[in-house]
Amino acid sequence: MKKLIIGIFALSLLVACKEQKNVEEDMPAVNDEQVQEMAYLDYGAKITDKDAIDAMELRRIYDGMTVGDTTSVKVKGMIADVCVKKGCWIKLPVGDQAATVKFKDYSFFLPKNGKGKEVILSGKAYKNITPVEELRHYAEDAGKSKEEIAAITEEEVTLSFVADGALVEKFDNPDVEEAANTEE
């Protein structure tokens, strides 16, 4: 009798395990592209989240550059600031500084309400000398006060980035301007 009970128990376990395996086999496969679509809003050229370096690694790259140097890179970080008028630039923290990110040929913009969201950018990083008027323009776009804008009196060596594609962490109601392909 014991052998019969043990046999029935063992058979029940095998059937239960077999049924579980069939449930897993019947589930549709989710590929990396579908996972990406579930996680990010896509802007500009099509890119993936694969092989992106973090912002601290980008800082090390900038540290090795001089004004005029350029390198292609894909970076992942957080949006620290964004143009509140159009979303035509963002600030990406890289260590104790922030890189100013613009979008290639002004062909796309990021959400004006994207501050604090994760972003993955593909494009070119470079060091640049930014004139006073352009620095003031960025300050105005960021909604700075007249006093803060007037306090900008010297050009700066800035960390710059021109993105050809971007992924932004998905969120409800992104406020995105249509790009007119005109530079401001």
Q: What is the pLDDT along the chain (184 residues), one digit of tens a residue?
A: 666 555 555 555 555 555 444 444 444 444 555 444 448 999 999 999 999 999 999 999 999 999 999 999 999 999 999 998 899 999 999 999 999 999 999 999 999 999 999 999 999 999 999 999 999 998 888 889 999 999 999 999 999 999 999 999 999 999 998 876 544 4
**What is the structure's pLDDT at 19?**
46
- Domains in the chain (CATH in brackets) are 40-169 (2.40.50)
pTM to 2 decimal places = 0.71
21 three-state secondary structure: helix
**What is the structure's pLDDT at 143?**
86
**What is the structure's pLDDT at 7?**
54
Antiparallel, parallel or unpaired: β 156-169 and 40-44: antiparallel
**What is the structure's pLDDT at 30?**
45
**What is the structure's pLDDT at 45?**
97
**What is the structure's pLDDT at 154?**
96
**What is the structure's pLDDT at 39?**
84
> Half-sphere exposure of residue 63, counting CA atoms within 13 Å on the CB side?
10
Burial 99-136 (b: 16+ CB within 10 A, else e): bbbbbeebebbbbbbbeebbbbbbbebbbbebeeebbb
